[in-house]
Amino acid sequence: MPALPAVPFHRWAHLQGLIACVIDGTAVSQAPLHSPQADTWKKFSRDALIPSTSVGFMSLPATRHDGRKPDQLRPISFEANIAPHATGSVLVSFGLTRVICAATIEPNVPTWMKQQRVPGGWLTAEYSMLPYSTLDRKPREISKGKADGRNIEIQRLIGRSLRAVIDLQKLGQNTLWLDCDVLQADGGTRTAAITGAYLAARLAVQKLLDARRIPENPLADSVAAISAGIYKGQALLDLNYIEDKDAEVDANIVMTGRGQFVEVQSSGEETTFSGDQLQSLLALSQTGLKEHSGLQTAFLTQQLLKF
């Protein structure tokens, strides 16, 4: 997905009062800007926007335990401004997985950049799971007296994913903080965090543009992530917790809106997997991420018209 136009968005006069969300060349939703339908678009739901797509795999079961097809995403929604004190924020839901993604812009850069005279700005991320996000209470890091290795791994992944699509030189002498806090975990928290973090970052960047603190949009593309895996011998897209915990192979794929890979993580859980199986997981992920990118475009189109 190419970066959306920079301010001022009121110049989109050619829309003639209509929002048209176009995904893969097909208009999926259209309503007057000031209609009751448009006013309810603060929250976007995948099921209401996009018909199911399919990838041809042989011998796939018709449904999973939650009723989905093997290549079907969970219901996805984005809700803006969930954290009003952040520069930009989004509550992202992948089924029962819910993550608050907040972007905060500080007019400063890390000390190491000043010492080394590195031009431009910086982007960094933090990730945590709230104690009540899991079935059994998860102790806070501070109570354990040490950092959680999994959290560190995931927040580094979020940072890498967003830095892949941002021009730090265009960010100016600013630091873009991305805080991703899991409210409810049902598999795919890192992929939901990456997908939502981009949206929060884009909303925050718009405020910099509106305030004329930077001259142009530093985000060159969108970025999103999805999980896939092999569960009971079958390739599945967007694993929930039941599937994820018992999957023979687990993968997390990060891609840009233009279809470029940012990161591919795949591992066998006490097993191995073939090149054909890996290709199946990549094909599933690419299909799912096209839907993610379309939803991100639709959400941002509506939100940025408000600025």
For the chain, the domains span 9-221+295-304
The predicted-structure confidence for 84-136, as pLDDT tens digits, reads as follows: 999 999 999 999 999 999 999 999 999 999 999 999 999 999 999 998 998 88
At residue 52, the pLDDT reads 36
9-221+295-304 under CATH 3.40.140.10, yes or no: no
Report the pLDDT value the prediction gives residue 148, as an integer from 0 to 100.
Answer: 82
pLDDT band at 62 (very low <50, low <70, confident <90, very high): low
CA distances from 302 to 19, 27, 173, 255, 307 (A): 7, 14, 29, 23, 10
Mean pLDDT of 147-158: 92
Q: With a cut of 90, say whether residue 304 has pLDDT above it.
A: no
The pLDDT of residue 221: 97
The whole model's pTM is what? 0.80
Average pLDDT over residues 259-278: 93
